[in-house]
Amino acid sequence: MKERVAVIDFETTGITPGREGRATEIGIVLLEGGVIVDRFQSLMNAGVPVPPMIVQLTGISSAMVRSAPPAASVMREAAQFVGRAPLVAHNASFDRKFWDYELAQCGLSSAQDFACTLLLARRLLPLAPDHKLGTLTRWAGLPATGRAHRALADAEMAANLLRHLGETLQQRCARPVSHALLCRLQKVTAAKVPQFLQQL
DNA sequence: TGCCAGGCCCTCTTTAGGGCCTT
């Protein structure tokens, strides 16, 4: 995939954006031609405490968040860093909710397409034991990127997985793999993937 | 009042239910 894409991951205080869930950290990896060309990572302070379960999961504490830059300024920087690049995330429906919500908090919006490595892995790697990001990374023999459940390490894992999925797709269809093609593929039901690939 | 995610996918399905995946 020659084009530039931005692979994104949020750490948050909960599952649903709003009063209960706010972003605590964002990690973004810019990928060009399958190669990581730039990285962005920042903790962010949205003015909410981090629940103990989340501290245990991510290692991100309320004290760390309190001393971080305001969420709005981090999101403005993140939006500038991403620019017009299409986005990718693992279980993108989750990260998209927080991307849209946190951007809206500082008066910004985003219209980029989101490709989802979870949906793509279910279609292209059906034999994996499960489709968690960590499992897929180990199963495919992709490099370790650091502490799981930290935003930049998870974004790098998802970027490596995206590259692997691109290579897998390339082997199965004789045409260049683009973000637009991945977005089309993830909308095809799993059972119809062979037919979809054959018609390319 | 009490509860509280939601999109996707599979199947013992489609007038539904339950598991996966993200924090």
CATH number of the domain at A21, please. Answer: 3.30.420.10
The nucleotide whose C1' lies nearest the CA of A118 is B21
Overall average pLDDT of the A169-173 stretch: 88
pTM for this one?
0.93
**Whether pLDDT at A67 is above 90:** yes
Q: How many domains does chain A have?
A: 1
Its domain, for residue A50, covers 5-199
Cα dihedral sign, A1-A90-A147-A105: positive
Does A67 contact strand B, using a CB cutoff of 7 Å? no
Backbone angles phi, psi at A28, to 5 degrees: -135, 135
pLDDT confidence bin for A196, thresholds 50/70/90: confident
Overall average pLDDT of the A55-76 stretch: 95
Overall average pLDDT of the A63-90 stretch: 96
Distance CA A45, CA A66 (A): 6
Q: How big is the CA angle at A197 (ends A142 and A200), to the nearest 5 degrees? A: 120
pLDDT confidence bin for A107, thresholds 50/70/90: very high
Query: Nucleotides of chain B within 7 Å of a protein C-beta?
Result: 5-10, 20-23
Distance in Å from B13's C1' to A33's CA comes to 42
Contact (Cβ atoms closer than 8 angstroms) between residue A74 and residue A26: yes
**Whether pLDDT at A19 is above 80:** no
